[in-house]
Amino acid sequence: MKSLPNNIIILGAQWGDEGKGKIVDLLSHGFDIVARYQGGHNAGHTILIGDRKFVLKLIPSGILHPGKRAVIGNGLVIDPAALLTEADALEAAGVDVRGQLRISNRAHVLFPWHRTMEKRISIGTTSRGIGPCYEDKAGRRGIRISDLLDPRIFRVLFDCLVIEKTRIEEAFGIHEPMDYAAIRAEYEAFAVRIQPMVCDAAQFLGDALAKGESVLFEGAQGTMLDLDHGTYPFVTSSSATAGGACTGTGVPPTRIAGILGVSKAYITRVGGGPFPTEALDAAGDAIRNRGNEFGSVTGRPRRCGWFDVPLLRYSAMVNGFDSLIMTKLDVLDELERIPVCVEYRGVSGMPATVAGLERIEPVYEYLPGWQSSTEGISHLEDLPSAARDYIKFLENRTGVEIGCISTGPERNQTIVRSGTRFYELAFASR
């Protein structure tokens, strides 16, 4: 008999950088496996444990829990140099990466020229080569981890890909000659190091589920950066929304018990693209400074703005959130009043085009600020009443419960609300 699913997906409800890393880390202890399902080293989780800081870009943060397995699913694109740099740093900190990490043999391999080819793309990407690697995947010319591990096949595919990409680079006038023999040799050496961690990840996860083990699926980027559902073309090249967890790992939708969205108490975006509630004034600067809103991968200042209810409702619709986790509430501590966008004037739903998104006129309601510190508070009743009202207001307007609130970067700076769907999914049944 099949056991009841107890696997959950956790992902960003906005444009990424919602603080998923801390929450995944917090929840990891209740799961046997943490799996990433899309993206590459364009993502960046900063996790603080005591005075130790870990920036994880490719490896799921569950790896920091001894004995837990971390899986890199087929939906990712992997720069082996980035992966091994991260693995080495973790090993040096005492993490058993070889023992805990499993890498899908169907994930795609990212090459140095993917960064060159990204020069054609001008939407403010992270310049890591992510989009061009996914282009090769969709173009059916990509090289997968399983190909990398087979020296004979790798040589043939590598040489074909070099010919193809040279043609494309020349056509766009961005050709940069590279020492391909050296790159090939370097990747052959990477293959030797990666090989012990590679497996058929769908099979690995399927076997684990059959044994009753549980999986926490960790999304990277965020809903509005999803290739299909985000603010196209100002998006990343993968399926960041909840559906991506299934296609990006090979675990079927019937095995998912619940979906958690992570949202800031305000909103940010990095890179170009429409941003209806962007605060281009001193208030936006204040959020950036107080919230330390600078990209963890590129260091770019993040664009900051006000909580966007229609965006969150859209995000809840395409993901099917059971509960929301609200992060960085303390960043709003000093504000006298807090604008919240409650509707887009005259527009229902989320416009599909950039022109439509740029025409949005946000309608704001202004909520009283609490002007006292919420930093580190771990019980709801200890929050100032205006902060509790803010949370209640957002719950009512978005239609999604807020089951968890983060009030600082440390694990213990978190409010977990018992009796919520969040509590049930993340803790009660574990």
Total residues at the site for ligand IMP (CB under 6 A)? 20
Residues 225, 13: Cα–Cα separation, whole Å = 10
Query: What is the SS3 assignment for 378?
Result: coil
The Cα–Cα gap between 73 and 58 comes to 11
CB 111 to ligand IMP: min, Å: 15
Cα–Cα distance for residue pair 251/257, rounded to 1 Å: 12
Within 10 Å of residue 182's Cβ, how many Cβ atoms? Answer: 9
Integer Cα distance of 19 and 181 in angstroms: 41
Is 43 near ligand IMP (CB under 6 A)?
yes
Of 231, 154, 145, nearest in space to 185 by CA: 154
Establish whether 207 is a catalytic residue.
Answer: no
The reply on whether position 130 binds ligand IMP by CB under 6 A is yes
Can residue 125 be called a binding residue for ligand IMP (CB under 6 A)? yes
Position among 16, 73, 80, 339 found at the interface with ligand IMP (CB under 6 A): 16
> 3-state DSSP call for residue 72?
strand
- Hey, how many other C-beta atoms are within 10 angstroms of the C-beta on 285? 14
User: 75 vs 258, which CB is nearer to ligand IMP?
Assistant: 75
**Strand locations in 24-183, DSSP E?**
33-36, 45-49, 52-56, 69-72, 77-78, 101-104, 108-109
| 17 touches ligand IMP by CB under 6 A | yes
- CB closer to ligand IMP, 270 vs 425: 270
Beta-bridge mates of residue 35:
71, 217
Site for ligand IMP in 225-284 (CB under 6 A): 225, 234, 236-237, 270-271
- Choice between 225 and 332, CB closer to ligand IMP: 225
Site string for ligand IMP, 85-124 (x = CB under 6 A): --------------------------------------xx
Closest to ligand IMP by CB, 126 vs 374, is: 126
Strand partners, 362: 344
Q: Which of 25, 41, 45, 79 is catalytic?
A: 45
Q: How far is the CB of 296 from ligand IMP (least distance, A)?
A: 8
Q: Which is nearer to ligand IMP, 231 or 323 (CB)?
A: 231
What the block records as the tokens of 145 is 């981890």
Known catalytic residue: 45? yes
DSSP state of 424: I
Q: Which residues bind ligand IMP (CB under 6 A)?
A: 16-17, 42-44, 123-126, 128, 130-131, 220-221, 225, 234, 236-237, 270-271
Which residues are catalytic, by number? 17, 45
